[in-house]
Structure 1
Amino acid sequence: MFTKENQKWNKFVISIDEDCKLKDFLIDEMSFSIRSISRMKREKNIFINGKVSKPTAEVKKGDILEIVLNEDGSQFIPQNLGVRCLYNDEDLLIFDKPPFMVVHPTKSHRESTLANHVSYFIDTLDEKFKIRFVNRLDMNTSGIVIVAKNAYAHHKLSKDMETNDISKNYLAIVEGVIEKDRDTIDLPIYRETEDSITRVVDSRGQRAITHYEVLERYKNHTLVKLKIDTGRTHQIRVHLSSISKGIVGDELYGVVDEDLIGRQALHACKIEFNQPRSCDRILVESELPEDFIQLIDKLKYL
């Protein structure tokens, strides 16, 4: 569908595969809102075969559709927080979130969030787009966070997550020694009340699937690699707790020992996905942060 040339974060060049109404294509295939389409029309930023067109036009197979987006950026305070960018293309940014950093500003964390750093980073690119997080991590979980540069990329990756076309891998250190080398935890996760922070395993909940593999066993702890097929809130933390192997440092579901580590020992280490436009398979990895490495060193000598 997309041509190889002239693609930008705010510019789509598409070879139409079949006859259709342009407005239907923009909504169904590109996931643009009615408001966005109205703005494109008003600013005359829709072109068919090089000529300005309206959303009411008909497009034919083989037509070249060009769309230019003029989007207002997010209103976060730009802050250079030193967060490493792992990947950057016309549709996506991927960052290596450190522990103790909130992804999105809240009433109690208005600044020094990942969103503040992303705003700063966007300014250095001389690009302008709304920040759309494709995934999020808890404040004390480190690792990979994806940002979409446009509505199409966000819609495409969100859909791929629903169909399990995105592979998400984590590393965790848990209390106790896991005997099985590998296993799958397939247990529903439920929120008991609307204001509850914690989640529980309960038959009333949504299905959640976590695969784990033991990488290393210590005297009283285990290093595990995890892959999740679903993305429920606190999924890995709840599932490991359900087999009596809570994550080290997890205040809600595990055992806190600040002599070992000052936060939950959970790191989003790898993600594999299809690039939204080209469909090329992309693999991005994040190295273990220093506190996680230090924890492993401590456990080897306990």
Structure 2
Amino acid sequence: MLDNKLTYVVGANIKDEKLRDYLKYTENLSGRFIKSSGLTGKIRVNNNVAKLNHRISSDDVIDIDMKTDEHQNIEPEKMEIDVAYEDIDLIIINKRPGIVVHPTHGYPSGTLANGVLYYFKEKNEKCIVRLVSRLDMDTSGLIIIAKNQYSHMALARDMQSKDVSSKESNDKDLNNKIFEKSYIAVAHGNMENKSGTIDLPIGNPNQDSARREVCDEGQRSITHYEVIKSFKNADLLKVTLETGRTHQIRVHLSHIGHPLYGDSLYGTVESEYIDRQALHAYKLIIPHPRTGEQLTVESNLPEDINNLISKLKSEA
């Protein structure tokens, strides 16, 4: 059973190395995590509190205490939370459409973060909400939240390693891990090819607008799609992201002439069988932050997208 500490046994090839360097270069911990753990006395070597310049050698046992008593300036609010997966290190929520993930100026309360903090409070877990992934307000599906600083660091690192524009993507050890986010989408029209890749840069040339665009000065963005089922004038798609830009799927599909059903920002019709973009984050394949083992979590399509699919079938 996992407990709230990390334990490392120093390998035979290590001799007289600084604790800080070992944790950073051998165990791939972030500098921020190492520094905060060291400053708060949470790192022990052979059961003794150790400073970061402490010298370690083979067979030394390093323990890092991850128990925290943290606070966040977000008010816990009771709401229905659909937990798709949970353990001591992370929680994966199946977010319903129409809910903002984190408080903003326009949405100071009633967000998913408010609800998750209440959930933690009811379970007497002293966690804050550390978002690893996000979804637009009207996109439904799976969101990853880390329960401690280490898990957030490890998950964010592994996610960035799959982003071709990230420096972590050149790390061979990290690239051996699978971090895959897949979506179900319903798009207008029928794709010319049953599967394909959209590799076009996305940027925000108009800073006063929420709308993103394909533009030369944007960041490289890669979207893979596969047609699951074709209707009279629509396609049901599985979409997998290789990068994670704001509105990436919506921008890419709209740019190639296949906007999502219900997408009032990137489509042409405000309401068409569904009152929000037909996009659901249905599957995650990630390395567990503690064990490295592959974790696969899936969620069912929400009622409104199922209803949309039924209506499209009836038109065929």
Q: How high is the TM-score relative to the length of structure 1?
A: 0.90
Shift of 1:257: 4.6
For the structure 1 residues 289 and 88, does the alpha-carbon distance in structure 2 shift closer, same or farther, using more than 3 Å as the test?
Answer: same
Give the residue type in structure 1 aligned to 2:91: L
Q: Is the 8 A contact 1:188 1:201 kept in 2?
A: yes
Shift of 1:120: 1.2
For the structure 1 residues 202 and 259, does the alpha-carbon distance in structure 2 shift closer, same or farther, using more than 3 Å as the test?
Answer: closer
Distance in 2 (CA, whole Å) between partners of 1:277 and 1:37 is 17
Distance in 2 (CA, whole Å) between partners of 1:98 and 1:74 is 23
Give the residue type in structure 2 aligned to 1:7: D
Q: Does 1:218 align with 2:216?
A: no
Spell out, residue by residue over 1:217-248, the C-alpha distance to the aligned partner (whole angstroms, 9 max, x if none).
Answer: 11121111101101111110011011100001
Q: Does 1:30 align with 2:29?
A: yes
**Of 241, 252, 257, which aligns to 2:254?**
241
User: 1:15 maps to what in 2?
Assistant: 9
Shift of 1:16: 2.6
Q: Is the 8 A contact 1:37 1:55 kept in 2?
A: no
Q: Is the 8 A contact 1:72 1:128 kept in 2?
A: yes
User: 2:172 maps to what in 1?
Assistant: none
For the structure 1 residues 232 and 132, does the alpha-carbon distance in structure 2 shift closer, same or farther, using more than 3 Å as the test?
Answer: same
Distance in 2 (CA, whole Å) between partners of 1:188 and 1:282 is 30
User: 1:280 maps to what in 2?
Assistant: 293
Spell out, residue by residue over 1:237-292, the C-alpha distance to the aligned partner (whole angstroms, 9 max, x if none).
Answer: 01101110000111111133535001000000101011112110000111101111
Distance in 2 (CA, whole Å) between partners of 1:24 and 1:90 is 27
**Of 237, 243, 251, which aligns to 1:230?**
243
Q: Is the 8 A contact 1:6 1:13 kept in 2?
A: no
Q: Does 1:152 align with 2:150?
A: yes
Q: Is the 8 A contact 1:175 1:255 kept in 2?
A: no
Distance in 2 (CA, whole Å) between partners of 1:280 and 1:35 is 27
**Which is worse superposed, 214-223 or 25-34?**
25-34
Distance in 1 (CA, whole Å) between partners of 2:150 and 2:204 is 31
Distance in 1 (CA, whole Å) between partners of 2:36 and 2:109 is 29
Spell out, residue by residue over 1:98-154, the C-alpha distance to the aligned partner (whole angstroms, 9 max, x if none).
Answer: 000000001111111110111012123322133210110000000010011222222
Distance in 2 (CA, whole Å) between partners of 1:176 and 1:258 is 16
For the structure 1 residues 257 and 191, does the alpha-carbon distance in structure 2 shift closer, same or farther, using more than 3 Å as the test?
Answer: closer
Secondary structure of the equivalent of 2:125? coil
Q: How high is the TM-score relative to the length of structure 2?
A: 0.87
**Of 49, 53, 72, which aligns to 1:52?**
49
Distance in 1 (CA, whole Å) between partners of 2:36 and 2:7 is 17
Secondary structure of the equivalent of 2:192? coil
**Of 120, 125, 128, which aligns to 1:127?**
125
Shift of 1:25: 4.2
Spell out, residue by residue over 1:151-206, the C-alpha distance to the aligned partner (whole angstroms, 9 max, x if none).
Answer: 22222222222222411100111111223211111111121033331111112211
**Of 264, 271, 275, which aligns to 2:284?**
271
**Which is worse superposed, 25-34 or 142-151?**
25-34
Note the residue ranges of structure 2 that are not aligned, 5 or more in a row.
163-177
**Of 211, 234, 243, which aligns to 1:198?**
211
Q: Is the 8 A contact 1:71 1:130 kept in 2?
A: no
Shift of 1:67: 1.7
Spell out, residue by residue over 1:40-62, the C-alpha distance to the aligned partner (whole angstroms, 9 max, x if none).
Answer: 22xxx332222233333222222
Distance in 2 (CA, whole Å) between partners of 1:281 and 1:270 is 13
Give the residue type in structure 2 aligned to 1:117: G
RMSD between aligned residues: 1.9
For the structure 1 residues 81 and 173, does the alpha-carbon distance in structure 2 shift closer, same or farther, using more than 3 Å as the test?
Answer: same
Distance in 2 (CA, whole Å) between partners of 1:128 and 1:64 is 27
Q: Is the 8 A contact 2:23 2:34 kept in 1?
A: no
Secondary structure of the equivalent of 1:301? helix
**Of 70, 73, 87, which aligns to 1:72?**
70
User: 1:180 maps to what in 2?
Assistant: 193
Q: Is the 8 A contact 1:7 1:13 kept in 2?
A: no
Spell out, residue by residue over 1:52-78, the C-alpha distance to the aligned partner (whole angstroms, 9 max, x if none).
Answer: 333332222222111223341323211
Note the residue ranges of structure 1 that are not aligned, 5 or more in a row.
none
